[in-house]
Amino acid sequence: MTEEEFAAVAKLLDNLKHDDVSVRLNSTQKLTSIARALGPERTREELIPFLIESTDDEDDILIVMAEQLGLLCDYIGGPQYVQVLLAPLKCLAIVEETRVRDCAIESLGKVATVMSSHQLHTYWLPLVQALAVHDYFTARISACSLFAAPYAALPTKERQELRETFAKLCQDDTAMVRRVAASNLGLFTDAIFSARIDPTAAEQKSSPSEDTTGSSSSGDDVAVRQQLIASTMVPLFVELAKDDQDSVRLQSIDNCVALARVLGGKAINGLTPEAMAASTGAPQGPQGTIFGVVLATVEDLSWRVRWTIAKRFHTIIDSIGPWGALTSAFLEKMLRDPEAEVRTAAVSIVSEVARQLPLEVVKSELVPRVLKQVDDPSEQVRAALASVVNELAPIVGQEQTLEQLLPRLLDLLRDTNSEVRLHVIAKLGSINQVIGVELLGERLLPTIFDLASDEKWRVRAAIMDRMPMLASQLGTRFFYDKLCDQCMLWLQDDVFCIRIAAARNLKRLTDLLGHEWIKGYILPRLNQMHSSQDHTHRLMTLITIQELAECLTADVVQTQVLPIVLDLVTDTVPNIRFHVAKTLGALADKVGAWVVAGRVEPYLKNLSADPDRDVKFFASQAFRCLTNQRGEAK
């Protein structure tokens, strides 16, 4: 390192004590550079102690310090010295600011990955235990996140100590500590399940709490680990699920998934998913306990808890198994919830749940219960149902779709709320595949036309935005015959943004319907619009041509488009004249140089002398662009 570089690092080191916060922050961001210059020994003996004394600084500085400490593992002399980083990180894990603690925990995780089993036993375990019994609840909160990472590398006794310490945190007097402990229960469970059991120790074990660090892959090993989880983690899970704070109970939903996954939820008591689906009873054993928590959560007093389980219900069923009749009953409870948000969440996952249940259960129980929500007083619930009904069609088949789904779908299409009707139209592809475009189209068209002329311009914009999707879902022939006229009518809408969106929409439709659609359908209608007495119609003719310019061929431009544009050169409205100039500029590269020189440039020269300054500006701009193109071509 040169003298200049040493001087720069020395300045950084001095700036760590600077009075200006921004200067200290800048130096803290370069701790790795400082450590590289100091060398491993001085970093351990000078820099780290200094950082420990500096952990009462501004939060922004402490966040950066926590991040940088996790990067210092390579600058302190190797893995054998990484324990020196624990002291400053411990200080940062206690501070009040959540972001500082989160960064400190992340860096502690990086340090743990390079520590040996001896270091974990000698340094890491005392750190976790010290944080777990600290007087400050912030320290105990941080401790909750430090159990999973080193668990597999620890010997039997230390593993048991970790589990016991974690259990105490789950019973902490402070609700925030219990909440974080609950949020980490699933992660800690996965770590316990991933840590192998020594088969010889398993044979000699006298209690479920005894394990070793062996690496057996036998079936008994899995069974022992499952028993260990059932005896240690499941009781904690049940206790947290009954907590008096809803923020703690909320965590039980994700824990249901984690526990069911490691306990073998898809093969409970030897039952296959098919047998589980046909069963009318509840599962037994630890899985039955998990199922009981699900039932209690569905009936929780807090709407936030019920809403969360409604959002995640299909994931839970996927983990604990498709208990057919019970699953349908659970879902019905959520569909009858007094809170509209909960009912909306329940409706939105119906199709996901249906894919996991036997077809007979879906047809006889699930679908009838869900379709009752068509009469729900909440527009939010009906809008969610409008999306789901279409997704159920491929699951139940054509006959059931015609008998049950289609009548209720038509009820939703007649809903007084436009958002509900739009949601139906947005997902027509699925039901179209089942019953066919002709039957669906004749029922659907009146609703589309109603939405297209809705008094709210945002509704008209929404249905227009879905036109390309309808063209792809219903087929181009059906769209061409039934809906093309409506797309052209939007060019004459009273609202300017709708007219502009309509011109862009024609461009999107061209990608589906092909260039012949422009030549045979759009241009004849633009030809009629350009001679309209309404200046907005004439203006939209030019704007539409600008949007479609890149889709037009040279032959079409010369024979059909240029006559329309040039006919408006002398229009009395200045806005139309300067749009003529812009349109001519957009079309110039579509025709040959002789056409530009003979038909386009003369008109642009005339427009360049227009009395209106905006017309003159755009005409001059287009003329310069054409001149440059011709120069480059030569």
What is the dotted CATH code of the domain comprising 1-114? 1.25.10.10
| Structure confidence by residue, pLDDT tens digits, 300-325 | 999 999 999 999 988 888 877 656 56
The C-alpha angle with vertex 316 and arms to 310 and 320, in degrees rounded to 5, equals 145
What is the dotted CATH code of the domain comprising 516-633? 1.25.10.10
- pLDDT at residue 552 greater than cutoff 50: yes
Asked if residues 15 and 24 have their Cβ atoms less than 8 Å apart, the reply is: yes
| Structure confidence by residue, pLDDT tens digits, 320-342 | 765 656 777 888 899 999 999 99
Question: To 10 degrees, what angle do helices 252-262 and 303-320 make?
Answer: 10
Q: How many CB atoms lie within 10 A of CB 478?
A: 19
Output Rg (C-alpha) for the chain, integer angstroms.
35
Q: How many CB atoms lie within 10 A of CB 84?
A: 19
User: What contacts 24+ positions apart, CB below 8 Å, involve 160-168?
Assistant: 160/209, 160/210, 160/211, 161/125, 161/129, 162/125, 162/128, 163/192, 163/209, 163/232, 165/128, 165/129, 165/132, 166/236, 167/232, 167/236, 168/132
Residues 6+ apart with CB under 8 A from 530: 537, 538, 541, 542, 564, 567, 568
Q: Give the mean model confidence (pLDDT) for residues 209-214.
A: 44
Asked if residues 526 and 562 have their Cβ atoms less than 8 Å apart, the reply is: no
- pLDDT at residue 239 greater than cutoff 60: yes
Mean pLDDT across the chain: 84
Question: Of 450 and 168, which is predicted with more confidence?
Answer: 168
pLDDT of residue 325: 62
Q: Which amino acid is at 218?
A: S
The Cα–Cα gap between 298 and 306 comes to 5
pLDDT of residue 85: 95
Place of tokens 């008109």: 603
The Cα–Cα gap between 162 and 158 comes to 6
pLDDT of residue 390: 86
What percentage of residues in the chain have a pLDDT greater than 90? Answer: 40
Least confident of 15-24, 137-146, 466-475: 466-475
| Structure confidence by residue, pLDDT tens digits, 59-71 | 999 999 999 999 9
The Cα–Cα gap between 190 and 350 comes to 29
Which pair of tokens denotes residue 115? Answer: 């520590």
In Å, what is the CA distance from 325 to each residue of 226, 270, 277, 342? 27, 19, 7, 21
The Cα–Cα gap between 578 and 75 comes to 67
pLDDT of residue 277: 44
Asked if residues 558 and 591 have their Cβ atoms less than 8 Å apart, the reply is: yes
pLDDT of residue 171: 95
- pLDDT at residue 600 greater than cutoff 90: no
pLDDT of residue 90: 95
Domain ranges for the chain, please list them.
1-114, 516-633
- pLDDT at residue 625 greater than cutoff 50: yes
Helix and strand numbers, DSSP H then E, in the chain: 45, 0
- pLDDT at residue 627 greater than cutoff 60: yes
1-114 shares its CATH topology with 516-633: yes
- Running DSSP on this structure, what letter comes out for residue 198? -
pLDDT of residue 220: 59
pLDDT of residue 4: 65
- pLDDT at residue 167 greater than cutoff 90: yes
pLDDT of residue 495: 93
Residues 6+ apart with CB under 8 A from 238: 289, 293
Nearest to 142 by CA among 117, 174, 113: 174
Nearest to 445 by CA among 417, 404, 484: 484
pLDDT band, residue 279 (cuts 50/70/90): very low
- pLDDT at residue 418 greater than cutoff 90: no
The Cα–Cα gap between 231 and 223 comes to 12
- pLDDT at residue 273 greater than cutoff 60: no
The Cα–Cα gap between 556 and 1 comes to 70
- pLDDT at residue 141 greater than cutoff 90: yes
| Structure confidence by residue, pLDDT tens digits, 424-463 | 887 777 777 787 777 777 777 888 888 888 888 888 888 8
pLDDT of residue 208: 45
| Structure confidence by residue, pLDDT tens digits, 477-514 | 888 888 888 999 999 999 999 999 999 999 999 888 88
Residues 6+ apart with CB under 8 A from 295: 330
3-state secondary structure of 490: helix
In Å, what is the CA distance from 462 to each residue of 45, 88, 427, 498? 66, 56, 14, 10
Residue 219 burial (CB < 10 Å; 0-12/13-18/19+)? exposed
pLDDT of residue 356: 84
pLDDT of residue 291: 78
In Å, what is the CA distance from 356 to each residue of 314, 349, 384, 471, 478? 8, 11, 20, 32, 35
Which pair of tokens denotes residue 329? Answer: 């009953």
pLDDT of residue 275: 43
| Structure confidence by residue, pLDDT tens digits, 26-81 | 989 989 988 988 889 989 998 999 999 988 889 999 999 999 999 999 899 889 99
Half-sphere CA count of 369, side-chain side, radius 13 A: 23
The Cα–Cα gap between 24 and 43 comes to 18
pLDDT of residue 539: 93
Question: Of 15 and 88, which is predicted with more confidence?
Answer: 88
In Å, what is the CA distance from 258 to each residue of 311, 320, 324? 16, 10, 21
- Running DSSP on this structure, what letter comes out for residue 195? S
Q: Give the mean model confidence (pLDDT) for residues 207-223.
A: 52
What percentage of residues in the chain have a pLDDT greater than 70? Answer: 88
Asked if residues 103 and 92 have their Cβ atoms less than 8 Å apart, the reply is: yes
pLDDT of residue 592: 62
Nearest to 425 by CA among 371, 467, 379, 367: 467
Least confident of 16-20, 459-463, 594-598: 594-598
| Structure confidence by residue, pLDDT tens digits, 368-395 | 999 999 999 999 999 999 989 888 989 9
pLDDT band, residue 632 (cuts 50/70/90): low
The Cα–Cα gap between 171 and 498 comes to 60
- Chain-centroid distance, C-alpha 517: 37
